[in-house]
Each structure stands twice: as C-alpha cells, then as structure tokens.
Amino acid sequence: MVFKRRDPKPLLRAAFEFLWPRGGWARAFHYIKHRVRRLPDTPEKIARGIWAGVFTTFTPFYGIHFVFAAFFATIMRGNILAALMATFFGNPLTYVPIGLVSLQTGHRLLGSEMQEGTERSFGGKFIDASGDLWLNLKHMVLGEPQDWTGLSVFYHEIFFPYLIGGIIPGVIVATICYYLSVPLIRAYQKRRKGAIKAKFEAIKAKAAAKAIDRKKKAD
C-alpha cells in the first residue's frame, strides 16, 4: 500500500505514545493549538468548534467523542475540524480528573453518593463495563445466556451520574476556552494576514525593480 509505514510501529510503542506522545504532551498541545489557529474560518466559528470539542470531553462517551464533537459543532454552526482537534483536551493526563469531577457533581445533583472505592477504580470500571458488553453481545450471537447485572450497576453508579454531572463543569470549561480562543485566534489571523501582505508587497516590489532594470538595459 502507498501510505503504509515502512517500519510498522510495535504495539507496545504505539500504546506508550498514546499515553505519552513523542515530544511530550506539551509539544502535542502546541501542535494542536498551531493547527487550530491556522484553520481558514472566522474566530467565532472556530471557537464554537473548540467549545463543542472541549464540552464533549466531559461526557462518558469514550471512544466516540469525535462523533459527538462533530454533532455539537454542527448544531452550533462551529468549525467541525476545530471541534475534533479540541477533543484532545481530554487525554490520558486529564480523563481521570475530568471523570471524577463529573461523577461527583452528578451524584450530588442526583442526591446519591459515590460508592466506596469508585474513585480508586474509575478507569477500571469503564474497562470492565466494555468487557461485559462485548461478552454479552458474543453470548447473544451464540445463543448463550447473558448477564447484564454488571452493566446495570455500571450505568446507575458511573455512567448516568457522569452524564448528568459532566454538563455543568463541561459548560463552564468549554465557555472559558471559547472566550479565551476568540481574541487569540483573531490576533493570530490578523498578524498572519499582515505577514502575508508584507510578503506579497515585497515580491511585488522586487518584480517592479527587475522590470525597471530590464527597461534600463533595453534603453
């Protein structure tokens, strides 16, 4: 295949780079920031996309954040590519604090309490629930009995409180990112337009000078 890597990346290395990208998360953040600022759209539309992407990271829909980010961006008439990039606000370094804040907020709003040990096994519960889901789907296909007890517990103790509780912190953080992004993107675009205009003027002046030189030689 044309686009296939010549040296396939080992699975262990790929997993490690997912948790810690080459160059670190700081470099990855600056790369995403650079790409977002260069998007060919208005600052407000790009910022609405960022809002959608950041808000999505406060939802429990792990694995399909891109889908929900694009959906919210479409509804808000935001830049979809900016929304997809902004989902990197949620990463292995931030998912746990985001999840715990959302979960704690959800339990308070619902008038319930987090079960003892939930905080320590937050990530594990998502992994266990995914395993139970696939196992039950497999049993369904094979005609074997299914046990949805674990998923039911997961839904009531983790998923639903997370879904409800992520709304408030998600809106707050996404709105902060929106109002920070608009002036930064506008200033960057203005500076970039000025640089492009200056470069164009320099090329134009150079061409005019060459034309004058050619005219003098002709005379």
- Per the CB < 8 A criterion, the answer to whether 204 and 146 are in contact is no
Position of tokens 């319930």? Answer: 112
Average pLDDT, integer, range 174-181: 94
- The residue with greater pLDDT, 214 or 16, is 214
Question: Which residue, 133, 130, 157, is CA-closest to 146?
Answer: 133
**Long-range CB contact pairs, 188-195, < 8 A, 24+:** 188/37, 189/37, 189/43, 192/38
- The residue with greater pLDDT, 6 or 203, is 203
Q: What is the Rg, in whole angstroms, of the alpha carbon atoms belonging to the chain?
A: 25
**Helix (H), strand (E) at residue 178:** helix 167-218
Average pLDDT, integer, range 183-204: 77
User: What's residue 56's pLDDT?
Assistant: 96
pLDDT tier at 190, thresholds 50, 70, 90: confident
Average pLDDT, integer, range 166-178: 96
User: What's residue 47's pLDDT?
Assistant: 92
Model pLDDT for residues 101-143, shown as the tens digit of each residue: 999 999 999 988 776 555 556 666 666 666 666 676 766 676 7
User: What's residue 2's pLDDT?
Assistant: 42
Question: Which residue, 74, 64, 70, is CA-closest to 83?
Answer: 70
Segment of 29-33, 81-85, 129-133, 196-200 carrying the highest mean pLDDT: 81-85
User: What's residue 152's pLDDT?
Assistant: 75
pLDDT higher than 80, residue 177? yes
Question: Which residue, 108, 153, 148, 115, is CA-closest to 132?
Answer: 148
Q: Is the dihedral of CA 40, 87, 164, 104 positive or negative?
A: negative
Q: In angstroms, rounded to a whole number, what is the distance separating the alpha carbons of residues 144 and 135?
A: 10
pLDDT tier at 157, thresholds 50, 70, 90: confident
Amino acid at 33: K
pLDDT higher than 80, residue 194? no
Model pLDDT for residues 22-59, shown as the tens digit of each residue: 555 455 555 555 566 567 788 899 999 999 999 999 99
Question: Which residue, 16, 83, 94, 7, is CA-closest to 49?
Answer: 83
- The residue with greater pLDDT, 187 or 37, is 187
pLDDT tier at 20, thresholds 50, 70, 90: very low
User: What's residue 192's pLDDT?
Assistant: 74
User: What's residue 15's pLDDT?
Assistant: 42
